[in-house]
Chain A
Amino acid sequence: MESDNKAARPVETLKQAIIRFAGDSGDGMQITGSQFTNTSAVFGNDLATFPDYPAEIRAPAGTIPGVSGFQVRFSSFDIHTPGDRPDVLVAMNPAALKVNIKDLKPNGIVIVNTDNFGKQDLVKAKYEVNPLEDSTLDGFRVVRVPLNMLTKETLKDSGLDPKVVMRCKNFFALGIVYWLFQRPMETTVDYLNLEFGKNKKRPEIAEANIAAMKAGYNFADISGLFQVSYEVPRAKLTPGTYRNIQGNMAVGLGLLAASKLCGLPLFLGSYPITPASDILHQLSAYKNHGVITFQAEDEIAAICASIGASYAGNFAVTTTSGPGMALKSEALNLAIMTELPLVVVNVQRGGPSTGLPTKTEQSDLLQMMFGRNGDSPVPIIAASTSSDAFDCAIEASRLALKYMTPVILLTDGYIANGAEPWRLPKISDLPKIEVRQLESKDKEWYQPYLRDQHTLARPWAIPGTDLLQHRIGGLEKEDVTGNVSYDPANHQRMTNLRHEKVAGIAKDLPPFQLVQGQKGDQILVLGWGSTRGAITAAVESLREEGKSVAQAHLRYINPFSPALKEVLESFEHVLIPEMNMGQLAFLIQGKFAMKVHSYTKVTGLPFTTNEVIDKVHEILG
């Protein structure tokens, strides 16, 4: 082959790029995408990712339901979403091409593994004609790579089983993409050595993958596959130490931090459920932090064990997703009635019923608000990005412990699995969480339901404390004494108190701030949860256009900030985009008797920036 070294080819500088890796579930696309992400993070780009998993159970190899994708957007400026349409698509097989090609930007680069376009492969992907041979790919820059052959050739002397060799082809592809964007490979080399070499004691696998990746890089370099390569310079981020973080991981770390901040052992009762199980796995590895994890026999037992642990004085948490929340609702009410601190994490997924376990949605909001018998108020906090989930977990814990109440923390599949750079907080800057568990000497005044004047929290007396023996339960309590009471006036009073206690949290919230724009702008785009990135990008772009648009994003859903009503009323229009059928819009309209524009989407995919922009244009006319 003619040597045509890379210096001879131009390097073009871009402000951002979006790559989507797509292949069969068995092709390792999530690892490949994460590796590109970590490398770009360490390099210093801002970034956002969107892993798109197929359903949990593996579909037959090569078919459309089996396609797994990972999109990463990296940039030299501040970004908020993983982007709508990729510039580069890596398609490991025809099914991956078929699912993803419609999203590729015009004139985008598509790298295809030509070795997987045999007759059988085409049939599995339901292609009648080979898309590499007809007009399907017209208008794109098609890069044809016989990945299987090249990987086999690279590793022919490795002595590895041919199956194992084939599993290295994603790293060959990654090497090609690394060359295309002029990325260093050290981060991935270190990862492979640690993961396979050290942890799994399979150094030969690490070596093979490294060899395949380097071969891919060199192949791209010397074969002249591409006319140009690209570079995306570092972003100007706020100074600090950064790491990449996924939302589930951030929740786990936030809960652990809260446990240290309040000085109580963390107890997690949980039952495996997609997409929340990662938090259970993560916290189970923190035993040397004194964390207790309990995988219960079902969702009900998971929350019940946590309630028991809370009663016994631990900082208790339960984690789940929508269907699990449905099962937990009776026990959640017990925690409300017994006024015990408990953090309940709901990583939302597509519903109803089993719904779309691996897809994202925000459709549990009203279930969290109202899905229990009786008048049973519970504070609700929603995380808006992966790193925000860390702060929200600490905040949910603070409120639970201060007000002696269960608190629901909402995230969703998009936050749970999506990654973003996280500027790490200083441990000393984290807020201390004050907790008081009574001692025997408090016997003088102790009554199980004698409330704190300010917070209306009842006192926390834990078993093992002499002289404070008492009984609690799910039957209505008499005010102050906590004895069982069926007295009508008492029930009214206790219902009011439970309501006032949660409503009173509003006084304890940080001042309400708009994300962009100001009061009196023509339209406010109001969001909550994981729509934040898309809304921020859309409002930025609209404001650049000169539109009078503001943005607000809610972390506190119950209670609302006391300033919210007045803020909302200062706008001519309020647009609420959400990934459900209009649940926040319903709450706002119900609470404030005001008209809003509800914009909804339930495709299992997040909003794109353009969707929000178009909607605002439509309203403003």
Chain B
Amino acid sequence: MSTESTTNLTKKDFKSNQDVRWCPGCGDYAILNAVQGAMAKLGKKREDVVFVSGIGCSSRFPYYMETYGFHSIHGRAPAIASGVKIANPKLDVWVITGDGDAMSIGGNHFIHALRRRINLKILMFNNRIYGLTKGQYSPTSELGKVTKSTPMGSLDTPFNPIHLALAAKASFVGRSVDMMGSHLEDVIMKAAAHEGSAYIEIFQNCNIFNDGAWKHITDRTVRDDMLIDLRHGEKLIFGKDHDKAIVLDGFDPKVVNVADVDEKDIPVWDVEANSTFAYLLAGNPEGKLPTPIGVFRDVKRPAFDVGVHDQIARARQKYGEGDLEQLLYAGDLWEVK
């Protein structure tokens, strides 16, 4: 598999000759940069990588990668990518999508790609707005959001994308932030190493239509206290001075001072554990908790595309290579002389 191959390619080798056309200041630039960096570090061969996208600002992404790319139709990228991956499991198939593309028009394909555990890496740029169509609220916009299509505020409850991915049984669920380059690159590399359906939600800033959507938690000045990085095998400790922790009080996660609790009562994060804890953390009901980023879940399950070819190999073993003539000349035959 190509994930094991090493090449001497650099980040630059993954840049295509196309001019990048997002609005100046858009968070997409940083994500592109992190993905290109990850590709080089992973030692990917460019010809073995396919980026498939839907429609939206983020979906322009494949044009800027010097790999194979398919800019498809709204919401359908996971379905197209599924076909690519099943047809040729040796390829590394990545889906680039946005909150409107994946959670709204493509919601069905999104959940089915995840539960089916096709070996796809789905990167969802979540800017909580429709950018390409110039500023309507999206399925991740907060309740009451005032936009062009909701002048008096939106009336619908947003999706929690991590909840959706966990419930759909994605075997890898991660989250990162456009401006946190090395963190993002790290989560991408972990997803790349995962065998199965991987989903990464990326907080992305649309500086034109929804500027500052994530600023209250991701800004350099507050992020240490507002975010907690979920790292496998490490305790749930956060804060600029590493002085705060999350502990479980029954079914309620709550924040405590490290100094106030017994060290052994602070849970150690386990990406392979039952996803209930991940679900509770991602919920963050009243904003009482820091927002988790990092890896929520990373469990081994057999990948669908591998299973498909496995069945073909088994059928060939059992019945021999299929013969067309035998198949045609079958059933009740009769001769006319």
Binding site for B on A (CB under 8 A): 38, 41-44, 187, 237-244, 253, 256-257, 260, 265, 267, 269, 286-292, 294, 296-298, 300-301, 304-314, 316, 330-331, 334, 338, 423-425, 427, 462-475, 483-484
Contact: A466 with B330, CB < 8 Å? no
Known contacts A466-B47, A469-B68, A471-B69; decide if A305 and B79 are in contact (CB<8 Å).
yes
Given contacts A464-B88, A464-B90, A470-B68, 7 further A-B pairs with CB under 8 A are A187-B332, A240-B336, A241-B334, A244-B332, A257-B324, A334-B72, A463-B48
Stretch in B23-31, B151-159, B237-245, B312-320 with 4+ CB within 8 Å of A: B312-320
Contact: B71 with A308, CB < 8 Å? no
B62 at the A/B interface (Cβ < 8 Å)?
Answer: yes
| Complex: A313 Cα to B330 Cα, angstroms | 30
Q: In whole Å, how far is B289's beta carbon from the nearest beta carbon of chain A?
A: 34
Binary contact readout B7-49 vs A (1 if CB under 8 angstroms, 0 otherwise): 0000000001010000000000000000000000000011111
Contact: B329 with A474, CB < 8 Å? no
Q: How large is the interface on B (under 10, 10 to 19, 20 to 34, 35 or more residues)?
A: 35 or more
Contact: A292 with B87, CB < 8 Å? yes
Most buried by A among B65, B314, B331: B331
| Other-chain residue from B76, B327, B332, B336 in contact with A253 (beta carbon distance below 8 A) | B327
Known contacts A288-B312, A301-B108; decide if A267 and B71 are in contact (CB<8 Å).
no
Contact: A309 with B45, CB < 8 Å? no
B73 at the A/B interface (Cβ < 8 Å)?
Answer: yes
| Other-chain residue from A38, A238, A286, A464 in contact with B48 (beta carbon distance below 8 A) | A464
| Complex: A294 Cα to B308 Cα, angstroms | 9
Interface positions, chain B 64-78, Cβ under 8 Å from A, are 65-73, 76
Q: Which residues of A contact B325 (CB under 8 A)?
A: 427
| Other-chain residue from A297, A300, A316 in contact with B83 (beta carbon distance below 8 A) | A316
| Complex: A331 Cα to B46 Cα, angstroms | 27
- Sample of 25 A–B contacts (CB below 8 Å): A41-B334, A187-B332, A241-B336, A256-B324, A269-B83, A288-B312, A288-B316, A301-B76, A304-B72, A305-B80, A308-B52, A308-B70, A308-B79, A311-B70, A312-B84, A312-B91, A313-B87, A425-B328, A462-B88, A464-B48, A464-B88, A469-B47, A469-B68, A471-B62, A474-B71
Binary contact readout B86-114 vs A (1 if CB under 8 angstroms, 0 otherwise): 11101100000000000000001100100
Q: In whole Å, how far is A370's beta carbon from the nearest beta carbon of chain B?
A: 19
Q: In whole Å, how far is B141's beta carbon from the nearest beta carbon of chain A?
A: 25
Contact: A294 with B86, CB < 8 Å? yes
Contact: A301 with B112, CB < 8 Å? yes
Q: In whole Å, how far is B132's beta carbon from the nearest beta carbon of chain A?
A: 12
In the complex, the chain A residue whose C-beta lies closest to that of B48 is: A464
| Complex: A424 Cα to B332 Cα, angstroms | 12
B322 at the A/B interface (Cβ < 8 Å)?
Answer: yes
Q: Which residues of A contact B71 (CB under 8 A)?
A: 471-475
Contact: A471 with B312, CB < 8 Å? no
Contact: A38 with B332, CB < 8 Å? yes
B63 at the A/B interface (Cβ < 8 Å)?
Answer: yes
| Other-chain residue from B76, B108, B112 in contact with A331 (beta carbon distance below 8 A) | B76
Q: In whole Å, how far is B286's beta carbon from the nearest beta carbon of chain A?
A: 35
Q: Which residues of A contact B1 (CB under 8 A)?
A: none
Contact: A470 with B332, CB < 8 Å? no
Binding site for A on B (CB under 8 A): 16, 18, 45-50, 52, 62-63, 65-73, 76, 79-88, 90-91, 108-109, 112, 308, 311-312, 314-316, 318-322, 324-325, 327-337
Q: In whole Å, how far is B11's beta carbon from the nearest beta carbon of chain A?
A: 16
Q: In whole Å, how far is A262's beta carbon from the nearest beta carbon of chain B?
A: 13
Q: In whole Å, how far is B91's beta carbon from the nearest beta carbon of chain A?
A: 5
| Other-chain residue from B86, B108, B319, B328 in contact with A297 (beta carbon distance below 8 A) | B108
Contact: A474 with B73, CB < 8 Å? yes
Known contacts A267-B86, A289-B322; decide if A42 and B47 are in contact (CB<8 Å).
no
Contact: A243 with B70, CB < 8 Å? no
In the complex, the chain A residue whose C-beta lies closest to that of B64 is: A471
Q: How many pairs of residues, A versus B, come closer than 8 Å at their CB atoms?
A: 208
Known contacts A267-B83, A304-B76; decide if A243 and B62 are in contact (CB<8 Å).
no
Where chain A touches its partner, the secondary structure class is mixed
Q: In whole Å, how far is B25's beta carbon from the nearest beta carbon of chain A?
A: 22
| Complex: A297 Cα to B88 Cα, angstroms | 20
Contact: A296 with B70, CB < 8 Å? no
Contact: B329 with A305, CB < 8 Å? no
Q: Which residues of B contact A311 (CB under 8 A)?
A: 70, 80, 83-84
Q: In whole Å, how far is B312's beta carbon from the nearest beta carbon of chain A?
A: 5
| Other-chain residue from A42, A243, A313 in contact with B88 (beta carbon distance below 8 A) | A313
Q: Which residues of B contact A242 (CB under 8 A)?
A: 333-336
| Complex: A278 Cα to B322 Cα, angstroms | 20
Contact: B86 with A469, CB < 8 Å? no
Q: Which residues of B contact A286 (CB under 8 A)?
A: 322, 327
| Complex: A545 Cα to B79 Cα, angstroms | 58
| Complex: A112 Cα to B315 Cα, angstroms | 47
Known contacts A308-B84, A334-B73; decide if A290 and B329 are in contact (CB<8 Å).
no
| Other-chain residue from B67, B91, B330 in contact with A469 (beta carbon distance below 8 A) | B67
Q: Which residues of B contact A330 (CB under 8 A)?
A: 73
Contact: B87 with A238, CB < 8 Å? no
Contact: B80 with A424, CB < 8 Å? no
Contact: B336 with A483, CB < 8 Å? no
Q: In whole Å, how far is B70's beta carbon from the nearest beta carbon of chain A?
A: 6
| Complex: A260 Cα to B326 Cα, angstroms | 13
Known contacts A241-B334, A286-B322, A466-B45; decide if A308 and B328 are in contact (CB<8 Å).
no
- Give me the 6 closest cross-chain CB pairs, A-B, nearest first: A308-B83, A473-B71, A289-B322, A305-B83, A304-B79, A287-B315
| Complex: A44 Cα to B335 Cα, angstroms | 8
Contact: A292 with B86, CB < 8 Å? yes
In the complex, the chain B residue whose C-beta lies closest to that of A484 is: B63
Q: In whole Å, how far is A268's beta carbon from the nearest beta carbon of chain B?
A: 11
| Complex: A470 Cα to B69 Cα, angstroms | 6
| Complex: A288 Cα to B321 Cα, angstroms | 5
Most buried by B among A289, A330, A334, A467: A289
Q: Which residues of A contact B332 (CB under 8 A)?
A: 38, 41-42, 187, 243-244
